[in-house]
Structure 1
Amino acid sequence: MTSEWTLEALGQIVTGKTPPKAVQNAYSDSGMPFLTPKDMDGRKWVLTTERCLSEEGTNSVRKSIVPAGSIAVSCIGSDMGKAVRIPVDSVTNQQINTLIPNAEKCDPDYLYYLLSTMQQDLKDIAGGSATPILNKGHFGKVQVQLPDIRHQNQAAKILAALDDKIQLNNQINQTLEQMVQAIFKSWFVDFEPVKAKIAALEADGSEEDALLAAMQTVSGKDEAELTRLQAEQPEQYAELRATAELFPSAMQESELVEIPEGWECLALDQIAKYQNGLALQKFRPENEDDYLPVVKIAQLKKGYADHEEKASPNIKPDCIIDNGDVVFSWSGSLMVDTWCGGRAALNQHLFKVTSENYPKWLYFHFTRHHLEEFQRIAADKAVTMGHIKREHLKSALCAIPDGKFIESAGKVLSSVLNKQIELRLESKYLSELRDALLPKLLSGELSVSETANQTLEKVEPTNV
């Protein structure tokens, strides 16, 4: 059985507030999170906000602080109906109404999931103006149907398990990203293991001393920790030693800077092929049921193909992307990513990056290494859509080791990149599963007990 409730009866509603202009230094890099619709990125929990409030800013809007666990809903414009849960005490701007749910009357998670399905309902209530607004009074009178609390609890538990696994995958990927960026910079940009060997030899150390210095740099362990590693995990120690042995113990002049002896200085377009996409408005599908979704810069930023535009599946294969492909937008918002949004057609202004001679991790990380400089070049152009040219790929130089080193380094760097892709694809699948289950669980079409058993099997802890 379901009962109709108004949001007003299910908890306290607070409309956000922006600190008055008279308050100086109202914002800061840390402090009270200040939530706006821009911070609502489709995830259940808002983990970070673009801005925070200083102590002065917080004091000026203290009556508008909402507690952890509240449900924030955007109530203006195109963002109307976006819903998130707030993990810590926060303040929102006035474009958001926040519901502080009464847990005795409803399951807060269930109510969040219910509100997340009501975007169109809220837009209809707000009316058809150019910038629809749903004020606190109208928002509070929105009616929702709630089943008994037991069904709410069980349905919310299933949906939350999926969201929690997605969030965990994201957190693991962030940790992996920090790790792999540090390794790549140390080995291929700053050449720290090589410099450690050189420093040891210049201090009259032996070749073994130089090797030990490189092992310490590669592993981040001191001599005592390495001795313990050798005793307790000899295979890992041997692998570390083999990797350190591959680093040269001298540098050489190059067109780039001094690079490790025996390495090559190559341009980006020498290590990879940068295939531009097509002007896909010229390649529309002949059959509306047989098409590829078009990926433009907007879709690359979202991380998925939204099927807003369609292209013929008969375009040349070089301009078709699939999961795991490296894509580089060279115009507008310059970014590099591994695509995880399924088979799609690549529009112009984006490169599909491939190589017949070098592994994916190498050209992906080197392209991203040069991205900041590319962004600077694009920003300096006095045009609406800043961009780079192929000549910039030719001038973006990279220090490339021999094949043996690349193979050894790839055991770490390739495995991390593959794991990141795997976790993203798993999160995509779990997100689609959640979205499919959501209306059926909320309506009671699916049995929560049977669905729980089937779903929880899919959210086992991830092995890294």
Structure 2
Amino acid sequence: TAEQAELAAMSVISAKDEVALQQLQAEQPDAYNELAQTAALFPAAMEESELGEIPEGWGVKRIGGMVERFSVGKKYSQKTASEKGSIPILDQGKSGIIGYHSDKPGVLASPEDPIIVFANHTCYMRLILHDFSAIQNVLPFKGKDLNIFWTYYATLGKQEFIEYKGHWPDFAIKEVVVPKIGLDRLFGERVSSLVKSSFQNEKQNSKLSELRDALLPRLLSGELPVGTTNEVSA
């Protein structure tokens, strides 16, 4: 029945069995109702598609038809990048950054308005939450009327590295199952706080690493005196 189907969906989404769901309904009715509303967005049947069975009412789209490309503005290189600066320059390698500059960024991004980049030759993909510039063949994009966090995870890993060539045409024709309107937004709301928290942790780790690299040589050389045990503890 429709009721059983919805209960099954609630169980899968929450990882709770029927007894735990009953307890949730009694103790946290608001959380239970929110879970029920989420489950109601999922269909109770499957239908055939070119990719096989997919949830009823969902669709299949090529990546190229569901995303919008953006320009990176001025393109940088190893020769024009500096070791320090306020704007990172993204490259196609796994490390992600080739250097820095202190001019106007080529692409604006933030935790509230991220953008996805695809490395055309190496196929590395990243969700970027800060302003940046890039070298050639780093391709930024967003989803057309689709939540950015859902778009990132829906397209991540769809194109594997084959050889050192331009992979965007192969990436753009890959097909993705697209949910009903609203589910991509709900997914984004659920995962955005986790992604933003990870981004803030990475920023803090980077600052701590810079502080360590600046202080350690001074400590080893004796330039920076080491306090007493009590002072260090304090």
- The answer to whether the Cα contact below 8 Å between 1:268 and 1:397 also exists between their aligned partners in 2 is yes
Which of 114, 118, 134 pairs up with 1:346?
Answer: 134
Which of 117, 140, 147 pairs up with 1:359?
Answer: 147
Q: Does 1:280 align with 2:76?
A: yes
Q: What is residue 39 of structure 1 aligned with on the other side? A: none
Matches within 5 A, 1:218-233: 218-233=13-28
Q: Give the 3 Å change call, closer, same or farther, for CA 347–326 of structure 1 in structure 2.
A: same
In the TM superposition, residue 284 of structure 1 has moved relative to its aligned partner by 4.8
Q: Give the 3 Å change call, closer, same or farther, for CA 229–291 of structure 1 in structure 2.
A: closer
Which of 368, 390, 405 pairs up with 2:183?
Answer: 405
RMSD after superposition? 3.5
Q: Which AA in structure 2 matches 1:388?
A: H
Of structures 1 and 2, the one scoring higher in RCO (CA 8 A, sep 6+) is 2
Which of 322, 333, 336 pairs up with 2:125?
Answer: 336
Q: What is residue 432 of structure 1 aligned with on the other side? A: 210
Supply the distance in 2 between the matched residues of 1:240 and 1:322 (Cα, whole angstroms).
30
SS in 1 for 2:182: helix
Q: Does 1:302 align with 2:95?
A: yes
- The answer to whether the Cα contact below 8 Å between 2:150 and 2:185 also exists between their aligned partners in 1 is no
In the TM superposition, residue 244 of structure 1 has moved relative to its aligned partner by 0.9
Supply the distance in 2 between the matched residues of 1:291 and 1:421 (Cα, whole angstroms).
17
SS in 1 for 2:198: helix
In the TM superposition, residue 321 of structure 1 has moved relative to its aligned partner by 6.6
Q: Give the 3 Å change call, closer, same or farther, for CA 252–294 of structure 1 in structure 2.
A: same
Q: What is residue 40 of structure 2 aligned with on the other side? A: 245
- The answer to whether the Cα contact below 8 Å between 2:219 and 2:225 also exists between their aligned partners in 1 is yes
Runs of 4+ in 1 over 4 A off after TM superposition: 276-279, 288-293, 320-324, 446-453
Structure 1 gaps of 5+ residues are 1-205, 454-464
| TM superposition score normalised by structure 1 | 0.42
Supply the distance in 1 between the matched residues of 2:23 and 2:226 (Cα, whole angstroms).
54
Supply the distance in 2 between the matched residues of 1:293 and 1:413 (Cα, whole angstroms).
25
Structure 2 gaps of 5+ residues are none
Aligned length: 228
Q: What is residue 224 of structure 2 aligned with on the other side? A: 445
Q: Give the 3 Å change call, closer, same or farther, for CA 256–290 of structure 1 in structure 2.
A: same
Matches within 5 A, 1:251-270: 251-270=46-65
Compare CA radii of gyration and give the structure with the larger one.
1
| TM superposition score normalised by structure 2 | 0.77
Supply the distance in 1 between the matched residues of 2:183 and 2:127 (Cα, whole angstroms).
24
Q: Which AA in structure 1 matches 2:89?
A: V
Supply the distance in 2 between the matched residues of 1:211 and 1:327 (Cα, whole angstroms).
37
SS in 1 for 2:224: coil
